Structure 1
Amino acid sequence: MPSNNRRTFLAASTAVGLGSLTGVHALRTQGTSTTFTAADSDGEDSLDTWLAAANDPQTHQIRDFRYDDPPTVYLGISNTNSFSPPAIKVTPETTVTWEWISEDVEYNVVAIDGTFDSGQPLSEAGETFEYTFDAKGTYRYVSEPYADAGMRGVVVVDTAPSSEYPTVDEWLAGTNGYDGTITDQLDTSLVEITTGAKGNSGHSAFEPHAVKVSAGTTIRWSWTGKGGAHNIVFKDGDFDSESTHAESGVHFEETFSETGVFRYACQPHHALGHRGAIIVE
């Protein structure tokens, strides 16, 4: 989204993860006081709760920008008191930009532990605020005037997963805790992969999500019957099971005779992270 005015406010302090929050940080508001405690910064469940209460015109999902250009988060898009996207993941030393959209409503950007602060609320479209995240951590923030009404966001800072297969790393980044680990099933004639496994905040995962096999191996996908209807659609290769199935059981298998990297996904739940990869050697 283009800017009309690129005057930029620069934050200069060093980033510190919210895991170090030990007290209570009260935020400036217009006539009220919004208070967040240490409990707001601890654990995955707490992060899920934080995002569930966030205004979001799309979905409550952390968007992974670790392989993309530095992201811009928009304030007040589509006349909503929200950040868009409200939750992002970046690598250390990434500069995140927040840009004001609304001319009518005043917003600011304030970390709940005081790590970064854009200052008093503004209502000028095109204004921007930037902050460079040097350290890994989870950084929750709000717009003070609408913090109680759900205008909250989060930046998760973490290194990108790394294996010897960069295309797999980028494909699976942000999915079900992928950390670069690839399950070795070389010299195994039949490998079974579960679809609808627990993961990605539901039953929207493959288990294992990355597997290495020998040429000639048959891969069999077994549905759990959970998480709705799933299918298997390949990004690489011409062998799909486009029909969705909600019931448990084996609904697709394929023998991989050629070497290469084969990425695939459950099409209905691709955006949730229901993706997998097969490396054939």
Structure 2
Amino acid sequence: MKRRTFVSAASAAALAGLAGCGAPTGDDGNGGNGGEGDGATTEEAEDGETTEEEDGETTEGTETTTEDTETTAGEDGDGGGVEVAMITEGSEYYFDPIGLAVEPGTTVTFVNESGAHSSTAYAEGNGGAEVTRIPEDAEPWDSETISEEGATFEHTFEVEGTYDYFCIPHKTLGMVGRIVVGEPGGPGEEGMPPDGEVPDSDTIVEEGSVSYEDFSG
């Protein structure tokens, strides 16, 4: 009787032990693994959300950069952003740069920085010009006199060749300039303008632009 009781007790203890071992395993399998599974799922979801947000931000940044690049390329392609200043400085009146090289299709903006000036092509009868010094098929331009500081005038150069131009109020004081479009050529290559001096066309093409200070100095 005592032996049988002992065996039963031992068996009970063994069963209890097995039950005890099974419980942690069940917790680990259900609670632990389930927790890890939930945690992993949550982390993945969070990572997924974070990745989507970061990717979204990156994509937006890329789109913005692309738009900026396209805008810049468009301006360069159209020849935009090229300026010539019209300046009064003491007793000096000048265009700066005095010599400029551009490609056909470029729009040049003349900016009145100080004083009162015009940008007028040397084409006979245009703004009082007595000679023609632009390519034969080119369209002459005349901004007329601009006195407002910061005011601008634009002209697009389509035909290749050499263009000489002047300021109406200061033509007799030597305020002249030259623009070479593509390659030098045309009547502008026949000596210098009658009212002043400009850089030679080869130098302008080689350097891209010649400032008034470098030329006059």
- Give the structure with the larger helix fraction: 2
**Under a length normalisation based on structure 1, what TM-score does the superposition of the two structures give?**
0.31
Flag the structure with larger Rg: 2
**Under a length normalisation based on structure 2, what TM-score does the superposition of the two structures give?**
0.40
Q: Which has the higher contact order (CA 8 A, sep 6+)?
A: 2
